[in-house]
């Protein structure tokens, strides 16, 4: 998933920035990377999601974890920014922070022409009895450091564009993630023990393996990405190429069971929502929690056969950096964190905090929240600021 390909120059959006909405042909077959147990993608990528959220532990023993093998890509996603020993890094005895970056890696888009539209800090306090999801808004204006690996001189950019800049000139996905981690540290103070790049299209297989997830739709919204064509969902670019009966997709208010494509499509919508990308951030957080709860409560994690099926379904959904901590240690050290203990937090009070130039600033209260993550004082911050907790319905 870190293969670099030479493609035609990307199209530009209204800000003069590269956009992903253009065909660029099929991707080459990914090169094989160093392999580690596929349990990694079900643990480190979401911390408490899937295996860690079981509450009751995983099927079998540590031996079973070590013996689970397959194709997971693991790269250095944090570069020189991962926590050092003085900051509590190197083990999971203290607080654990994981950077989650979501990309939409469809085959018609070039590998180096992607942005991280989802940027989430997963914080697990030293007590290991809770998990918090803290989003960084995609349009936040960031001071981006120079990044020689990608021949990037430094400057200002939206948070969503940082990954793109780090991926250029051979930087690849690892370069995009490293520049993102450096930028977040410089702008918010938060740094991380591990990281994951999440391909939300690949993530569909996990949801389907769980036989869907339950999502609560809080406002009616139309899909701006998919049409039903003769009863089958197709991305707009594909739907335009074929005939047949076409129908818009609307997500109606209320709690409902969703298939993989529906859950992912709903969580990607931002146009037509009251608070735009902030509502999308919350819906993506809800999706993460919904997957964790379904895995924990469906009996999957106590059945080795089902677990192996889930591992297989995970496929190419993640690229991981587990830092200095062994995968099995992550699993068994944090397995007490349950899905119901996952708290969704709002940045900027859940509304656009524009700076007059189509970009956002981080409010003082949200900067305090980021500082609380860094100092492992998030519980105390929430007690003093209960309004930062997101409504899940």
Please provide the DSSP assignment of 266-316 as one string: HHH--TTSTTTHHHHHHHHHHHHHHHHHHHHHSSGGG-HHHHHHHHHHHTT
Domain-located, residue 342: yes
- Whether 296 maps to a domain, the answer reads yes
With b meaning 16 or more CB within 10 Å and e meaning fewer, what string describes 306-319? bbeebbebbbbbbb
Percent of the chain as helix, strand, coil, to the nearest 5: 35, 20, 45
pLDDT at 286: 86
Would you say 133 and 342 are in contact if contact means Cβ atoms under 8 Å apart?
A: yes
Question: Does 190 lie in the same domain as 78?
Answer: yes
Q: The pTM is what? A: 0.75
- The Cα–Cα gap between 314 and 179 comes to 26
The pairs formed by 61-67 with CB atoms below 8 angstroms and a separation of 24 or more are 62/328, 62/332, 64/304, 65/37, 65/39, 65/327, 65/328, 65/331, 65/332, 66/37, 66/328, 67/37
How many angstroms separate the CA atoms of 83 and 101, rounded?
Answer: 18
List of residues 6+ apart from 355 with CB closer than 8 A: 141, 361
Tokens of 116: 């991280």
Shared domain for 180 and 239, answered yes or no, is no
| One domain, residues 223 and 197 | no
Asked if residue 231 and residue 176 are part of one domain, the reply reads no
What pLDDT is stored for residue 121 in this prediction? Answer: 92
End-to-end Cα distance, the chain:
35
Element (H, E) at 239: helix 236-239
CB 39 within 8 A of CB 63: no
- Whether 83 and 181 share a structural domain: yes
Report the pLDDT value the prediction gives residue 181, as an integer from 0 to 100.
96
Residue 6 inside a domain? The answer is: no
Say yes or no: 148 and 76 in one domain.
yes
148 and 280 share one domain: yes
Range of the domain at 244: 219-252
pLDDT of residue 221: 96
Count of the separate structural domains present in the chain: 2
pLDDT tens-place string over residues 115-164: 777 899 999 898 888 889 898 988 899 999 999 999 999 999 999 999 99
Residue 139 is assigned to a structural domain of this protein? yes
Question: How big is the CA angle at 117 (ends 113 and 119), to the nearest 5 degrees?
Answer: 125
The verdict on residue 121 lying in a domain is yes
Q: What was the pLDDT predicted at 292?
A: 78
Query: Are 227 and 294 contained in the same domain?
Result: no
CATH number at residue 312: 3.40.630.190
Query: Which of residues 252, 274, 299 is at a domain's end?
Result: 252
Q: Are residues 158 and 263 in the same domain?
A: yes
What is the per-residue pLDDT for 348? 86
pLDDT for res 33: 41
pLDDT on residue 165: 94
> Does 118 fall in a domain?
yes
Domain boundary (198, 230, 252) is at 252
Pair 120, 237 in one domain: no
Q: Each residue's pLDDT tens digit in the chain (393 positions)? A: 333 333 333 344 444 444 443 333 333 444 444 333 333 333 333 333 343 334 334 444 454 444 443 445 678 999 989 888 888 887 778 898 999 898 876 655 556 667 777 899 999 898 888 889 898 988 899 999 999 999 999 999 999 999 999 999 999 889 999 999 999 999 999 999 988 887 777 678 888 888 899 999 999 999 999 999 999 999 898 899 999 999 999 999 999 999 999 998 998 898 888 888 888 878 888 888 888 778 777 776 666 667 666 666 665 567 777 777 665 565 556 666 665 567 888 888 777 777 667 788 999 999 999 999 999 999 999 999 999 988 765
pLDDT score recorded for residue 112: 61
Eight-state DSSP code of residue 380: H
Distance between CA atoms of 77 and 198, rounded to whole angstroms? 12
Residue 43 lies in a domain: yes
Q: Of 252, 273, 301, at which residue does a domain stop?
A: 252
What does DSSP say about strands 73-74 and 318-321: parallel, antiparallel, or unpaired?
parallel
Are 280 and 153 within one domain?
A: yes
Q: Where are the beta strands (DSSP E) in 8-103?
A: 73-74, 96-103
- Give yes or no: residues 69 and 119 share one domain: yes
Q: Is 2 domain-assigned?
A: no
């Amino acid at each position: 998933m870190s293969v670099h390909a030479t493609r035609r120059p990307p199209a530009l959006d209204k800000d003069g920035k590269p956009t992903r909405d253009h065909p660029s042909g099929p991707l080459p077959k990914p090169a094989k990377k160093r392999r580690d147990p596929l349990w990694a993608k079900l643990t480190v990528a979401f911390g408490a999601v899937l295996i860690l959220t079981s509450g009751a532990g995983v099927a079998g023993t540590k031996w079973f974890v070590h013996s689970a093998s397959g194709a997971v890509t693991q790269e250095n996603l944090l570069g020189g920014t991962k926590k050092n020993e003085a900051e509590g890094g190197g083990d999971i005895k203290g607080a654990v922070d994981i950077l989650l970056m979501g990309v939409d890696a469809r085959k018609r888009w070039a590998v180096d022409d992607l942005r991280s539209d989802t940027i989430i800090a997963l914080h697990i306090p030293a007590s290991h009895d809770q998990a918090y999801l803290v989003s960084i808004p995609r349009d936040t204006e960031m001071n981006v450091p120079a990044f020689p690996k990608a021949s990037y001189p430094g400057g200002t950019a939206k948070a969503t564009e940082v990954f793109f800049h780090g991926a250029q000139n051979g930087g690849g996905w690892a370069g995009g993630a490293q520049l993102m981690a450096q930028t977040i540290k410089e702008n918010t103070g938060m740094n991380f023990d591990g990281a994951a790049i999440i391909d939300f299209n690949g993530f569909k297989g996990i949801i389907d393996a769980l036989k869907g997830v339950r999502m609560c739709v809080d406002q009616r919204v139309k899909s701006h990405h998919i049409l039903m064509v003769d009863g089958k969902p197709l991305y707009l670019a594909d739907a335009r190429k074929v005939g047949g009966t076409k129908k818009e997709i609307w997500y109606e208010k209320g709690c409902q069971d969703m298939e993989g494509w529906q859950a992912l499509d709903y969580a990607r919508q931002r146009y037509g929502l009251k608070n735009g990308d902030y509502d999308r951030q919350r819906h993506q957080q809800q999706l993460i929690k919904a997957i964790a709860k379904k895995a924990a409560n469906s009996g999957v994690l106590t059945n080795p056969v089902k677990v192996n099926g889930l591992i297989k379904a995970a496929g190419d959904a993640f690229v991981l950096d587990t830092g200095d901590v062994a995968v099995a240690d992550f699993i068994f050290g944090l397995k007490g964190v349950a899905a119901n203990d996952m708290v969704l937090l709002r940045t900027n009070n859940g509304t656009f905090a524009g700076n007059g130039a189509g970009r956002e600033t981080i409010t003082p209260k949200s900067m305090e929240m980021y500082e609380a993550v860094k100092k492992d004082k998030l519980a105390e911050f929430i007690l003093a600021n209960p309004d930062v907790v997101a409504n899940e319905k």
